[in-house]
Structure 1
Amino acid sequence: QLEALVRLSESLAKVELSPSVQHRHVQEALRLFKVSTMSAASYSTNSAMEFANDETQKQVERAEAFLKHRLPLHSKVNTNRIVEEATHQHYSAPAVRKAMGIMVIRNQLREYNHGRLVERLR
């Protein structure tokens, strides 16, 4: 994220044909970054909460309860292993993955290694 801010600041300076990055370029880069991040976060939260039907919603809620029960706080586990365990206990794999996505959006889980590992934060 820091690298993105640096690149954005440099690009803003180039647009103005400025030989160096000024404070105003950094401020504008921060503003743009915050706006785009908040926009993306609100879109993700809203889309994550939309369910095809009540049954799907119930499956995702059950999967979320499973994840909260199965993952101790601050533990890191393999994502595929958790999904596999859940399916052995008759949870739907798509529901488990959707529940994990929702928990990431809520900052209850954090993904590592491009989503291969998850850590329960709260």
Structure 2
Amino acid sequence: MRPEDRVAIHEAMKQQTISIAKAGITTVLNSRTSVLAAANPPSGRYDDLKTAQDNFDLRTTILSRFDLIFIVKDVSLYDQDKIIASHIIKVHSSAQAASGDIRASKEENWLKRYIQYCRSECHPHLSEAACAKLQSDYVDIRREMRQQANETGEAAAIPITAMQLEAIIRLNESLAKMKFYLRMCFRSHVATESDVTEALRLFKVCTMDAACSGINQHIHITPDMANDIKQAENQIKRRLGIGNHISERSLIDDLTRMGMNESMVRRAILIMHQRGEVECQRERHIIVRKV
């Protein structure tokens, strides 16, 4: 994403405004819409050794604005690939595709009317029990993330702040709106503890997993591996002065000729990148020493 686009989307998601300067007219408009975004990794495939922030190549100030972050990986599994291939072939070859589209459009129109009705008629609020549970669970999540940062020495890719608490509240209210028909007979527009539990579950299985992704969570580093990685880091610092840059391929080739394992060298580069000591540019083809 270009820097100017980052500035534009950051204003819209943080301040809910859009600044316009065209034809001699400068004004600020309100932005009242939901944002659904999709991002592809810079290298083309999701790298489990890198954090979610590195895979998305977006700053935490933007990532923290999204209520839910789902990581969708193209995992090669025989049964799953067979089901997907069968579905795609059936869509293109079946003569009943047209009639299926008509039924889908009718269901879609019904769903749109239902969502519109719930938005206009249902305005739920949190019950006292739901507020207490939400507060305690949010404090527990913050404590767990702080303990993880102290153990690993690295902050999470997506910081857990009050914005995430507001995101959980919005999820909680949305779940209560979805159950509006079930509660119409009681005229109860209250978000209960069950809604809070489900909202927290959704938050943990998507955003929290994305925040905790990275090399430390997916790879068990033994003492021997840690020693090799430390040696690779020292050699990288010797070869690359502060402010200088080098091709990643050239750096790996030089260190492997010295007898180092290529996998350990790559992990050392990733760890130094996570600590902010080096910067990867041009889709990781160029390594720049920062500190």
With structure 2 as the length reference, what TM-score do the two structures score? 0.32
In the alignment, the residues of structure 2 paired with residue 47 and residue 101 of structure 1 have an alpha-carbon distance, to the nearest angstrom, of: 11
Could you tell me which of 104, 115, 118 is aligned with 2:284?
115
Correspondence for 1:35 among 64, 71, 78? 64
Task: Identify which range, 48-57 or 98-107, moves more after superposition.
Answer: 48-57
Question: 1:21 pairs with 11, 18, 30, which one?
Answer: 30
Matches within 5 A, 1:1-122: 3-4=5-6, 6-7=8-9, 9-10=11-12, 20-21=29-30, 33=62, 35=64, 39-40=156-157, 43=212, 47=216, 51-122=220-291
The CA distance in 2 between the partners of 1:35 and 1:11, in whole Å, is 10
Q: Is the 8 A contact 1:45 1:105 kept in 2?
A: no
Alpha-carbon offset, residue 40 of structure 1: 1.6
Residue 6 (structure 1) shift = 2.5
Counting aligned pairs with the same residue, the percent is: 14
**CA RMSD in angstroms, aligned pairs only:** 3.3
Higher relative contact order (CA 8 A, sep 6+): 1
In structure 1, the partner of 2:50 is none
How many residue pairs get matched? Answer: 109
Q: Structure 1, residues 18-45: CA drift from partner, whole Å, max 9, x if none?
A: xx336xxxxxxxx963637x64267367
Deviation (angstroms), 1:96: 0.7
1:114: Cα distance to partner?
A: 0.6
How far off its partner does 1:48 sit?
A: 7.0
The offset of 1:52, in angstroms, is 3.0
Q: Distance in 2 between matches of 1:76 and 1:48?
A: 29
Question: What SS class does the counterpart of residue 115 from structure 1 fall into?
Answer: coil
TM-score by length of 1: 0.69
Question: 1 or 2, which has the higher helix percentage?
Answer: 1
Asked whether the 8 Å contact 1:60–1:99 carries over to 2, the reply is: yes
Residues 79/21 of structure 1: CA separation in 2 closer, same or farther (3 Å cut): farther
SS of residue matched to 2:254: helix
Verify the 8 A CA contact 1:9 1:21 in the aligned structure 2.
Answer: no
Q: Distance in 2 between matches of 1:35 and 1:119?
A: 27
The CA distance in 1 between the partners of 2:218 and 2:226, in whole Å, is 9
Amino acid in structure 1 at the alignment position of 2:8: V
Unaligned runs of 5+ in 2: 17-28, 32-59, 66-154, 159-210
Query: Could you tell me how far apart the structure 2 residues matched to 1:70 and 1:48 are?
Result: 29
| Partner AA of 1:73 in structure 2 | I
Deviation for aligned residue 1:111: 1.0
Residues 45, 102 of structure 1: 8 Å contact kept:
no
